[in-house]
């Protein structure tokens, strides 16, 4: 039987935040790579992930088409299959549909960010697709994982602890950092494009100390999630392959920017990537 496959996406997690947290459990999957997202905002990035486009290495002196081919063939290892090629996804070009209809997977998604809610176009080919009650509780996702003995399972887990305000599940909301125009993004879809050029202002949240505080909160979130991933390792069957990455990065004041989305800066595109099989 093919492997169970779990794709864990730490929303907004920068590569250097991930590395600064020094995760021990996640590194057991393999070497953590510095990769680049295909998009700088949650929705388009997840669409790319779900058509099989993992964050890329940006190698020099190769044809782009050859890199696509080689990178996509990695799904043979992830799924424990043979002869899976990109054209296998034609005509739908959507990984959950291919896994469900062609390979017989049970397909599930648990998402933290409202822009990925079940009403969106992303919810195709999934047997179940759930927007979590809290935006920042990966542990609740782990507790809901179920696996069948007769069919492999695919899970997409969109994890929100690393997204602004970088809050852990037990942290009271009144202790979250508050930035004018950003706080409350989890209640209003129109507010979920977070980012932009920091204007000259007397407001204290633009100062370096505030940006550093936010950066440290993301690093802390990664450290916390490393413990939750340890719990994930304990509950999945041995024939499970796990990919851990991010949909995009984040800006903490570099060159006058905060956040992500409509920003052209390498720290918005730079993400961690690590994967391997639980044996």
Digit-coded pLDDT (tens) for 101-146: 999 999 999 999 999 999 999 999 999 999 999 999 999 999 999 9
pTM, whole model, 2 decimals? 0.91
Pick the residue with more confidence: 185 or 279? 279
Which candidate, 38, 50, 40, places its Cα nearest to that of 5? 50
Domain span at residue 169 reads 4-278
For residue 157, how many other CB atoms are within 10 A of its CB? 22
- Residue 206 is predicted with a pLDDT of 61
> How many domains does the structure of the chain reveal?
1
The string of pLDDT tens digits covering residues 15-59 is: 999 999 999 999 999 999 999 999 999 999 999 999 999 999 988
The string of pLDDT tens digits covering residues 172-227 is: 988 888 765 444 433 433 333 344 444 444 455 467 888 899 999 999 999 999 99
- Residue 245 is predicted with a pLDDT of 98
Q: Give the C-alpha separation, 169 to 266, whole Å.
A: 29
Q: Is the pLDDT of residue 257 over 90?
A: no
Pick the residue with more confidence: 182 or 3? 3
CATH number reported for the structural domain that contains residue 210 in this entry: 3.40.720
Q: Is there a contact between 219 and 20 (Cβ–Cβ < 8 Å)?
A: yes
- Residue 192 is predicted with a pLDDT of 39
The string of pLDDT tens digits covering residues 229-240 is: 999 999 999 999
């Amino acid at each position: 039987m093919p492997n169970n496959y779990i794709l864990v996406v730490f929303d907004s997690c920068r590569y250097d935040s991930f590395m600064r947290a020094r995760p021990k459990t996640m590194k057991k999957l393999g070497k953590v790579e510095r990769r680049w997202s295909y998009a700088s905002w949650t929705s388009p990035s997840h669409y790319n992930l779900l058509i099989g486009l993992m964050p890329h290495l940006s190698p020099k002196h190769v044809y782009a088409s050859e890199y696509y081919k080689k990178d996509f063939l990695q799904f043979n290892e992830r799924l424990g299959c043979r002869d899976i090629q990109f054209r296998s996804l034609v005509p739908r070009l959507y990984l959950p549909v291919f896994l469900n209809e062609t390979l017989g997977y049970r397909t599930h998604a648990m998402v933290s960010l409202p822009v990925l809610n079940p009403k969106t176009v992303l919810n195709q080919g999934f047997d179940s697709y759930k927007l979590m009650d809290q935006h920042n509780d990966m542990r609740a996702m782990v507790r809901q994982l179920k696996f069948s003995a007769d069919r492999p399972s695919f899970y997409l887990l969109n994890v929100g602890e690393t997204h602004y305000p970088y809050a852990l599940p037990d942290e009271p909301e009144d202790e979250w950092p508050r930035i004018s125009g950003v706080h409350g993004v989890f209640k209003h879809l129109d507010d979920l494009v977070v980012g932009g050029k920091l204007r000259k202002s007397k407001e204290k949240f633009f100062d370096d100390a505030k940006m550093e505080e936010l950066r440290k909160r993301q690093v802390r979130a990664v450290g916390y999630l490393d413990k939750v991933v340890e719990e994930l390792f304990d509950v999945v069957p041995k024939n499970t392959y796990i990919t851990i990455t991010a949909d995009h990065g984040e800006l903490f004041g570099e060159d006058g920017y905060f956040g992500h989305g409509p920003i052209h800066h390498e720290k918005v595109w730079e993400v961690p990537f690590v994967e391997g099989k639980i044996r």
